[in-house]
Structure 1
Amino acid sequence: MGWWNQFSFVYPWVLPLVLLPVALYVWNQRRLGERLVSLRLPTTAGVGELGSWRTTLRPLLPLLQVAALVLMLIALARPRLDLSEESVTAEGIDIVLTMDLSTSMGAQDFSPNRLEVAKEVARDFVRQREFDRIGLVAYAGEAYTKSPLTVDKQIIDRFISELQMGEITDGTAIGLGLETAINRLRDSEAASKIIILLTDGENNAGDRHKPEVAAEIARKYGIRVYTIGVGSGEETLMPSAPIGGGRYRFKPTRGTVDDKLLAYIAEETNGRYFRARDTEELESIYDYIDELEKTEIETTVFKRYEERFGFFLGIGLLLLVLETVLRYTVLKTIP
């Protein structure tokens, strides 16, 4: 059925008419059945040899007429094989998601924890950015590029889902994470370059990499930074020490977010700082960023069609000729 789905019709309103020859055939067959009379014979032995392949095929002649008319009506609807090609040209946005993997992201004021919620919301955001290149940076006490800029959304989705606490040295090196993201964007020629930096703590690692200096570098390269502080601000269970197998001991803690620093980074780069105290707020923040960072997409569509009405018309005429030849030659009846 795949090839049939490629067909379109210039005059689709003609297609219902293909039922007319079929209906006439059914009606005619019923009418002939009512006109037939029966002849009672004491035995059929005398007429048993009258049947032949001719008598078997002769009733099928009207079906050739029906098929021919159906094909001609389809030809009249002017079927075309759709060979359309679509070319999309756009100056997209380059985006680097910068995710905090410090152990505090395991805090349970978000269900099941901050990191899992942050990952899921980020994955939803990626799915909406059809034409943009997206990269992924992970950081804690250190930072690394999980994925360079790519249009392969499935790869980014998988890499985000794989992020786990404990992959790298613990801590919160916001400056180092920001610098790593900047390195992914500084040579970009995109119309818009942005970093979405998410954290739930204060800068306490990477002393040689000051967040304020990283913000100035981002501004120099025309990179806009949206910062997101995550955490309810209330006492919650937070991982305190690993016990092996990816498990942690938990203790009640009231985490803190450096709102002042994150707001400075955003303001310095012409971005914006957001505070997410629950899952709904985090989702709305990503939705807001999605609306802010829209690109004008210039789409050029080239439509090409291959006319196929001749194919259906030719087969229909062939069947009509075949029916006529058979009716007046090998299947001819004598009145």
Structure 2
Amino acid sequence: MTLSSPLLLVVGLLVTAALAWAAVVSGRRRRAALAAAGVAAPGGRRARLGVGLTLSGVAVLAVATAGPTAMVPVPRTAGTVILAVDVSNSMGAQDVAPNRLAAAQRAARAFVAAQPDSVDIGVVAFERGALTTARPDADHSVALAAINRLKLSGGTSLGAAIMASLTAITGRQVALGREDAPPPDIGYWPSATIVILSDGQNQGPDVERAAMVAQRAGIQIHTVGVGTVAGATVKVDGFHLRTALDEETLTLIAKTTGGTYQPASDAARLDGIADTIDLRLTVSDEPLPLAGGLIGLALALLTVGAALTVLRSGRVI
């Protein structure tokens, strides 16, 4: 237990001690006066009990005024979602208005807005490489700011997107290593989910191996296809390149991990992904103010103590 104003506790206890001393002196004087008058002092058990309860109430009130706070374990449900957004140059195609990246950002913002604060959300931006632009956090404004900052650049590596997302989830660097090496074991993270928003135009290797790492860790990957199968032409460094939505690769990633694939035209269905997140039960210490309860106890003690004292002696002390 901690106190916000320890000095008030010291003052309150001194006041309580002074009242106790006054009660003892008053009792002695009363008994002496009765003895001098030749009157036997009545049994004072009830009166002493009343005085004791009254002083106890004052002592409890002194503790309450000091602002006591206790740290208590509070259970809460929590999960982690990583939004991996494709920022490769192909996402500048305008087959989805106003362009693919803007559509992905709109869908990502809508998804964030639908999540409770018990879900930590992080953002990974990927092209040939991948970068965590917002670590998982219950403050969703951080994720929204990261989504709004996304800019077009480079090619596309879905494998890098998955590995960077796993790094953000576990808090440590996750790498595939050589192709002949077994996939890394990153532990079991069933309360984590990855949502990839991309046109699926992958230029990097190891997509399936990366998905297998997530699958072994119990992490579902949901993919959202941004673009059209018919495709569009995008201008990159003075060249006109044809780009189309690769649903096959995005579907493979989702199926490997037990997730789902859906096109951006159904982006509203992103809200349903929240239902698949396996929220974990965590326990964290949170401050609990005790002053209110102590004040109630003090008032009860003071009331009962005063009533007993008055009924026995006709005086409060």
Instruction: Tell me the TM-score normalized by structure 2.
Output: 0.56
Q: CA deviation at 1:145?
A: 1.2
Pairing partner for 1:223 from 183, 203, 219 = 219
Instruction: Tell me the TM-score normalized by structure 1.
Output: 0.54
Q: Which residue identity lines up with residue 177 of structure 1 in the other structure?
A: A
Q: How many residues align structurally?
A: 207
Q: How does 1:45-84 map onto structure 2 within 5 Å?
A: none
Structure-1 residue corresponding to 2:97 = 111
Q: Which residue identity lines up with residue 270 of structure 1 in the other structure?
A: G
Q: Which residue identity lines up with residue 91 of structure 1 in the other structure?
A: T
1:290 aligns with 2:278: no
Structure-2 residue corresponding to 1:239 = 234
The answer to whether the 8 Å contact 2:212/2:257 transfers is yes
Could you say what the CA RMSD is over the residues aligned between the two structures, in angstroms? 3.3
The verdict on how the C-alpha distance between 1:189 and 1:126 changes in structure 2, with shifts beyond 3 A counting, is farther
Structure-1 residue corresponding to 2:84 = 98
The answer to whether the 8 Å contact 2:235/2:241 transfers is no
The answer to whether the 8 Å contact 1:186/1:221 transfers is no
The answer to whether the 8 Å contact 2:192/2:278 transfers is no
Q: CA deviation at 1:189?
A: 7.6
Q: 2-side partners of 1:197 and 1:133: how far apart? A: 16
Pairing partner for 2:119 from 132, 136, 143 = 132
The answer to whether the 8 Å contact 2:229/2:246 transfers is no
Q: 1-side partners of 2:189 and 2:73: how far apart? A: 19
Identity across the alignment (%): 28
Q: Which residue identity lines up with residue 143 of structure 2 in the other structure?
A: I
Pairing partner for 1:264 from 252, 255, 258 = 252
1:201 aligns with 2:200: yes
Q: Which residue identity lines up with residue 260 of structure 1 in the other structure?
A: E
Structure-2 residue corresponding to 1:315 = none
If you compute each CA radius of gyration, which structure gives the higher value, 1 or 2? 1
- Provide structure 1 residue ranges, at least 5 long, that are not aligned to the other structure: 1-85, 244-248, 311-335
Structure-1 residue corresponding to 2:16 = none
The answer to whether the 8 Å contact 1:235/1:252 transfers is no
Q: 1-side partners of 2:76 and 2:167: how far apart? A: 23
SS at match of 1:159: helix
The answer to whether the 8 Å contact 2:192/2:277 transfers is no
The verdict on how the C-alpha distance between 1:118 and 1:200 changes in structure 2, with shifts beyond 3 A counting, is same
SS at match of 1:180: helix
- Provide structure 2 residue ranges, at least 5 long, that are not aligned to the other structure: 1-71, 172-186, 300-317
Q: Which residue identity lines up with residue 195 of structure 1 in the other structure?
A: I
SS at match of 2:234: strand
Q: CA deviation at 1:165?
A: 0.4
SS at match of 1:91: strand
The verdict on how the C-alpha distance between 1:252 and 1:223 changes in structure 2, with shifts beyond 3 A counting, is closer
The verdict on how the C-alpha distance between 1:196 and 1:155 changes in structure 2, with shifts beyond 3 A counting, is same
Q: CA deviation at 1:150?
A: 1.4
SS at match of 1:92: strand
Q: CA deviation at 1:240?
A: 1.5
The verdict on how the C-alpha distance between 1:107 and 1:147 changes in structure 2, with shifts beyond 3 A counting, is same
